Amino acid sequence: MKTLILLKQLLREPCNTLQNGSVKFLMILFIILFANSTAIAQTKNSYSLGNESIFSQKLLSINKSNTITLKLSDTESIAGKVNLKEGDINNYSIIGLIGNNTSSTFNITKQDGILEGHIILFDQKKAYKYYSGDNDDVYIEEVDINKVLCIDFEQVASKEKDIGKVSAKAPDLQSLPGAEATVYLDFDGEVVENTRWAGGSRIDAVPSGYSDDKILAIWRIMAEDFRPFNINITTNRAIYEAAPQNRRMMCIFTSTTTAAPGSGGVAYLNSFSSTRNDDPCWAFNNGTRSAGETGSHEVGHTLGLSHDGLRSGTTYYAGHGDWSPIMGWSVNRPIGHWSKGEYDNADQDQDDLAIISGNRNGFGYKNDDFGDTITEAGELIVDAQGNVNASQNSGLITTRADKDVLSFITAGGEVNFDFQPDPYYPNLNIQARILNGAGEEIAISSPSRDLSASINTTLDGGTYFIEIDGVGEGNLSTGYSDYSSIGFYSISGSYAPGNNNQPPVANFEASKDCSQVAFKSTSINTVNTYLWDFGDGNTSTSQNPNHTYSQSGTYTVKLTVTNDIGSDTNTKDNFVDISVPTLPNGISENACSGESVTLSLSGSNGYIWYDQEQGGNIIATGSTFETPELTEGKTYYVSGTSSPITTAEVGMKEISDASGNIHGGGYYLIFDAEEPLMLKKARVSAQGAGNRTLQLLDTSEQVLATKTINIPDGESIIEINLDIPAGNDLRIGFTDGANLFRSNQNINYPYQVSNIISIKQSTATSNPQGFYYYLYDWQISTLGECETDQRTAVTVNTIDAPEVPAISLDDDKFEISVAGQYSAYQWYLDDVAIENATNSSIIVEEIGVYTLEVFNAAGCSTTSEGLLIEALSVDTPNPIDNVTIYPNPAYETLFVNGLEKVGEEVYSVRVVNMLGQVVTSYNGPIASVNTKSLEVGLYFLVVNNKMTKKFMKSK
């Protein structure tokens, strides 16, 4: 029997730099792993430290300054010294040193029922992770130290001269006043204690000694790196203190390298969002550019980013050409960008921007300052003389998809524009375009190896648009993509301003929802009237009409707009492609009561079966549907779809005792659904039969659907038929008390069907890709894109079976017959159908149990009770024995002697074949039988319908 497991988990990982000699263990006052615990593998490299509650109790019994033995495996332990112990059994933190080395440390915390921690052996470049499993045990596992601390970050000595003014207090700088999320740049020295750094020991970090100008420059580097995000890069300590612990980070600029001797900087991964520890990060490099890039690098670690290296083993990729990744080594090249591993031989493809702006860190991107299209355009600010001032016309490109569009009206003539990125440490490579009112390109500028752009051209009078976009440079081997080409820009220049007395310029766009299309005018300048031609004979005078097409096809759409100055018409050929689903053709069926029937449909591309005429639940997809066993009439309702329905299988296939065990429930699989679909069936393995509750959650963990499913004991395929909407980060799983199998080995996420679904990971806190919960081998189907508004009704009429027939034996004729008339008959001997025995009676020729199945006109049947025939003769001599027949086998004539000796009047003599068919009959006694016309085989001579003699017909 698989073991029942209850749930719990964790994970929070850091990143640092340490260095020291190997520490061996001397004193063992206490062993955290209690002596009689059994090591149970959670993953291949993990080691069980036993029950979490017992582990915590013994851990908390150790006093500060005491030595502690930390068990790594059955054969390895190390000695540590406790520097900090606070809290109780429910929430606590214990931090200390390994030996006397301030860069080799350990920390164990418990918060909200989740235990986690690390051991850092800097000199050995090793790290171990503590975590509570989903079975209430504590585990320790060796992990890549680069996933905990950013070791070996290069330290470079500055050769620059810093001769500017050094104020007693750093300049008060803020990149986004009012933002909750805060990064505080600490230049004036800091006392750091009771953190994970130096095992909780005190660090007296000396001031940076930087001049005000150098501080401003470092701040500018980091402010531009984080400019797209809703976070304040500041030198104001009060703002940092006011921010929540899990929405702030202190970055200390100092030459005190106690936290990571020999390193250029250091940080713990994911420490920005931690409520367990309030650890700062450190920037030891002291050149202006190296300090600023180090600051962004280390803060990036606190936000959850890992190093950008090469598969060849280089941990910090230094870039190529003008470009380098911030999470590699970005000090020596003009451009430092966030990355997602697009360069050649990248060792990982972590999406930096998505992680920085993700839910864990609690801040996202800034709001878009200008719209992306001409209908959402802002206005360029210009004075009466036609001067465009950069201080009045600036903006921000926040993502690779963001574009900023600004409108201007010119009286005509020469226009000159200059587009500049951040003047100090730019990240944005600008492409600038001028568009006309129809969105057509008039001019473009995107110089090679130049982040700025400029346009000098001549325009007719009218309304135009400037479009700013961040672009890449060259190819990914020698340049970079537009992934992180984001940041500040400004516009300056001149043109002859015009007025608003312009004729309209017609333009439009549309969004389609099956056969209904929402049209939107994007015409510019004042518009008084609209006239739409939808291409199907229908028109509208609304500004933004909705139109429903009744037939499939491709339609040309035309819009004419007018104002007091003039009019304009825009025709878009083959603009709308419509596929209208057709209603299925269905035929009602009859079914015998208590039986199922297969229903079939035609006439549509796809079919969705419902239990109600409107609304209701999806019960199946496809052109056929096998009903359950029905005892009364039932109507099903079927819609047609515009696209065929795709069926597929997805998910982990195998349920193996070697790869997991029974689990108590409460965890989920996280997946993306590219389109609406139905989860029809899945394989599970249960401990005990009974009802389980399946839940579908959205990305905010709000319940979308709940279903109670009765699951048998052991492994089975269960019917689910759950309607799943399109969406990202959906979650599906069983609630507490499920007692279903889950895997913790041989898991290979993602499990996916291209363009339909991708199962990405689990909700396990400590190792979300190391667990797979409950539902194996999903059977899914898509829902066919567009669906008919109406549904075809398909009715199953149930027909009762005939009354149970009563059969009886006629002892004189040795014949079994049935009372009553039926449409058809089938006799059975010992539950085996007797061939060609399809009459209302049958001559008994063998012993056994006879039954009769009778049918009504609809084909429904009922079977009689069995009639046992134990013997074909009685104990007294059979009179037929006095009759002789010869020759046997017979050819032309069979002679019969002694019929007068049967003891009764002979009134009937019949010849019966093996099928029970009478082939010859006589009324009264006979002396011979003409056998010439008979087929070769075995026959029976039946006297008075009860006495028989066997004979063979020969060739």
pLDDT of residue 289: 97
Per-residue 3-state assignment (H helix, E strand, C coil) for 811-860: CCCCEEEECCCCCEEEEEECCEECCCCCCCEEECCCCEEEEEEEECCCCC
From first CA to last CA, the distance across the chain in angstroms is 69
pLDDT less than 50: residues of the chain:
1-44, 874-876
Query: What phi and psi values does residue 556 have, to the nearest 5 degrees?
Result: -95, 130
Q: Which residues contact 505 (CB under 8 A, 6 or more apart)?
A: 436, 437, 438, 462, 463, 523, 524, 525, 568
H helix or E strand, kind and range, residue 107: strand 101-111
Q: Render pLDDT for 264-308 as a digit per residue (tens, 0 to 9).
A: 999 999 999 999 889 999 999 999 999 999 999 999 999 999 999
Kindly list the structural domains of the chain, giving each domain's residue range(s) and its CATH number in brackets, ordered by start.
1-152 (no CATH), 182-306+350-356 (3.40.390), 374-494 (2.60.120.380), 508-578 (2.60.40.10), 585-645+792-799 (2.60.40), 647-782 (2.60.120), 807-869 (no CATH), 879-953 (2.60.40.3080)
Identify the bridge partners of residue 183 per DSSP, sorted by sequence position.
233, 249
Burial class, 760, CB count within 10 angstroms (exposed 0-12 / middle 13-18 / buried 19+): middle
Tell me the CA distances in angstroms from 516 to 191, 510, 571, 790, 872, one per residue in order. Answer: 65, 10, 20, 15, 79
Give the whole-angstrom CA distance, residue 119 versus residue 125: 11
H helix or E strand, kind and range, residue 567: strand 567-578
pLDDT of residue 126: 93
Identify the bridge partners of residue 803 per DSSP, sorted by sequence position.
none
The pTM score is 0.71
> What sign has the CA pseudo-torsion 301, 304, 310, 315?
positive
**DSSP 8-state class, residue 245:** G
Please report how many Cα atoms fall inside a 13 Å half-sphere around the Cα of residue 401, on the Cβ side: 3
- Short-list 305, 293, 303, 339, CA closest to 320: 339
Give the whole-angstrom CA distance, residue 609 versus residue 624: 9
Q: Which residues contact 137 (CB under 8 A, 6 or more apart)?
A: 40, 42, 48, 49, 50, 51, 52
To the nearest 10°, report the CA torsion of 904, 908, 914, 918: -170
Q: Which residues contact 316 (CB under 8 A, 6 or more apart)?
A: 152, 153, 154, 307, 308, 309, 328, 329
What residue type is 93 in one-letter code? Answer: S
Query: What phi and psi values does residue 541 have, to the nearest 5 degrees?
Result: -110, 10
Cis peptide before 750 (omega within 30 of 0): yes
C-beta of residue 102 within 8 angstroms of C-beta of residue 18: no
Give the whole-angstrom CA distance, residue 653 versus residue 778: 9
C-beta of residue 63 within 8 angstroms of C-beta of residue 52: no
Which residue stretches of 499-623 are H helix? none
Give the gyration radius of the chain's Cα atoms: 43
What's the token pair of residue 226?
A: 């984080």
What residue type is 141 in one-letter code? Answer: E
Q: Render pLDDT for 30-84 as a digit per residue (tens, 0 to 9).
A: 333 333 333 333 444 688 999 999 999 999 998 887 889 999 998 999 999 999 9
Q: Where in 299-440 does DSSP place strands (E)?
A: 323-325, 335-337, 378-379, 387-388, 394-397, 403-410, 413-421, 430-435
Q: Where in 436-485 does DSSP place strands (E)?
A: 441-445, 453-459, 462-470
pLDDT of residue 180: 97
H helix or E strand, kind and range, residue 80: strand 77-87
Residue listed under structure tokens 């269960």 = 718
What's the token pair of residue 393?
A: 């016309």
* Reduced DSSP (H G I as helix, E B as strand, rest coil) percent helix, strand, coil of the chain, to 5: 10, 40, 50
What's the token pair of residue 4?
A: 């029942």
pLDDT of residue 877: 56
Cis peptide before 889 (omega within 30 of 0): yes
To the nearest 10°, report the CA torsion of 767, 768, 770, 771: 120
What's the token pair of residue 493?
A: 């220049």
Tell me the CA distances in angstroms from 740 to 1, 96, 681, 685, one per residue in order. Answer: 12, 40, 16, 6
Tell me the CA distances in angstroms from 879 to 181, 900, 947, 949, one per residue in order. Answer: 112, 10, 8, 11
